[in-house]
Amino acid sequence: MLEKINNLLLEVEQLAVSTKEQVEEYRIKWLSKKGQITVLFDEFKTVSPELKREMGQKLNELKVKAQEKINALKEKFEAAEDSGKGGAIDLTLPGDPNILLGSRHPLSIVKNEIISIFSKIGFTVSEGREIEDDWHNFTALNTPENHPARDMQDTFYVNINPEMVLRTQTSSVQVHIMEKQKPPIRTISPGRVYRNEAISARAHCQFHQVEGLYIDTNVSFADLKQTLLYFAQEMFGADTKIRLRPSYFPFTEPSAEVDISCTLCKGKGCNVCKYSGWVEILGCGMVDPQVLENCGIDSNKYKGFAFGMGIERITMLKYQVKDLRLFFENDVRFLKQFTSA
């Protein structure tokens, strides 16, 4: 019997098969109810007591090795079959060239670029709620009760609470920041805003803004101008020029509108800039001292500047898009022009 066990052990160790069917044949031959190993276990009952220990160990070793050999061969052939069916994935293979790349929305592209530009000079990103109370959206920003911006024609009020509105500007985020954080403050606030306007090629009832705020000691209008020149040249090219025209905003004094030299005609005059050589991109100014006081900041010690731009406006200039409504229509033909790299 010992000789039979040793012969089978040798056969198991040297077993080599070429098909999955042969593996099954050997499983039946060795491990089935009438297989050779099962027969040896039946014969083991007749072995003399003094040999049972040695024989038992050998027989168990044979059974374990036979089972392991069969299992290993089965896994080998099953893995080969899965690979042929595409079940196994080789992560080192190149991507499928037939899979189309997705597209990033142009507003997202430009918003991320604006954030990146200002991040380089120390501005952090602040975000806030889109449903805002009257104080943060209007009063704290020095907007008197009779100001036209409060009129129902401009602002969406929430019916269940007349003191709540859909924010008309992301300046409300800056009010929250000034209330909670001590200067120095250097932040930009990107987000969606809402105004009750007729939808056209140049206006919409919802759009996106990025507003900036810098508060510290000894902040001047020259700091504001240099910051905006840096932004314009980073966004539109190193040859871009800016000019500031006097304007009015209730929360800044003095205030200005900012134009850039037309990116198409390089300031020579074309139909995009209405032959003036300049295109308006944003509004800005020095933060009104009363706004600082409203937010608990000492206006005798600190000064600041603020600016705000429409992301749609910047995107239209950057990509020469002439109809603002395209940004909200989800037209795949339009979005495919901004396919990700």
Task: Flag the least confident range among 62-76, 79-93, 151-165.
Answer: 79-93
Interval 274-298 mean pLDDT: 94
Domain positions in the chain: 2-85, 106-338
Q: How far apart, in whole angstroms, are the C-alpha atoms of residue 59 and residue 71? A: 19
Query: Which residues make Cβ contacts (< 8 Å) with residue 139, sequence separation at least 6?
Result: 294
- Predicted confidence at residue 63, as pLDDT, reads 83
Query: d(Cα 34, Cα 69) in Å, to the nearest integer?
Result: 19
Residues 53 and 42: their CA atoms lie apart, in Å, by: 15
Which tens digits make up the pLDDT trace of 213-234? 999 999 999 999 999 999 999 9
Mean pLDDT score of the chain, rounded to an integer?
A: 87
> Residue 309 belongs to what H/E stretch?
strand 303-310
Identity of the highest mean pLDDT range in 105-109, 142-146, 186-190: 186-190
**d(C-alpha 50, C-alpha 53), whole Å:** 7
Quick check: helix, strand or coil at residue 310?
Answer: strand
- Given this model, what pLDDT does residue 162 score? 77
Q: What is the average per-residue pLDDT within 24-34?
A: 82
Closest CA relative to residue 258, chosen from 241, 248, 236, 243: 243
Residue 110 CB neighbours (<10 A): 22
How many Å apart are CA 293 and CA 139, to the nearest integer?
12
User: What pLDDT is stored for residue 157 in this prediction?
Assistant: 87
List, for residues 79-138, the tens digit of each pLDDT value. 777 665 555 566 776 677 677 667 789 999 999 999 999 999 999 999 999 999 999 999
The CATH homologous superfamily for domain 106-338 is: Bira Bifunctional Protein; Domain 2 (3.30.930.10)
pLDDT at site 341: 43
pTM of the model: 0.68
Where in 142-241 does DSSP place strands (E)?
157-158, 161-166, 185-194, 206-216
The pLDDT, as a whole number, for residue 305 is 97
Other CB atoms within 10 Å distance of the CB of residue 45: 7
